[in-house]
Amino acid sequence: MLRIYHDSLDLIRGLEPLVRTLERKDKDLARQLRRAATSIPLNIAEGFRRNGKDRAHHYRIAAGSAAETGAALDVAHAWGHLPNLEALLDQLDKIRATLWKLSNR
């Protein structure tokens, strides 16, 4: 499996306590964040087993989910629901960069 798959699971492990905190403040946003973050490794795994344009398509979906994850974190921070997210956003940026490379080969 690709390293990016494991990196995306590490991201989820880092998000888990924040999602639990967010659930107490904005249940809908927490649910959306959980779905978007979960979609990243699922689509990476599916893309890894595909060929050609189909592979790149799944990596693009994962990249879109990574963008949505980042936006959900930005919104949660803007509402004052979550503290400093710099480390997680940096981790997410590395994942997005790798997915961009994979989907644009």
| pTM (two decimals) | 0.94
Cα 3 to Cα 8, 81, 92, 102, distances in angstroms: 9, 31, 14, 12
End-to-end CA distance of the chain: 18
The torsion defined by the Cα of 52, 58, 60 and 65, in degrees rounded to 10, comes to -170
Structure tokens of 27?
A: 């249940």
Report the candidate in 39, 37, 35, 59 with the shortest Cα–Cα distance to residue 47: 59
pLDDT for residue 1 is more than 80: no
**CATH level 3 topology of 3-103:** de novo design (two linked rop proteins) (1.20.1440)
Cβ within 8 Å of residue 81, ≥6 positions away: 21, 22, 25, 26, 29
pLDDT at 61: 97
Ranges of each domain in the chain: 3-103
pLDDT at 57: 95
Cβ within 8 Å of residue 18, ≥6 positions away: 73, 76, 82, 85, 88
Q: What digits encode the pLDDT tens for the residues 13-64?
A: 999 999 999 999 999 999 999 999 999 999 999 999 988 888 999 999 999 9
pLDDT at 95: 98
Compute φ and ψ for 97, nearest 5 degrees: -65, -45
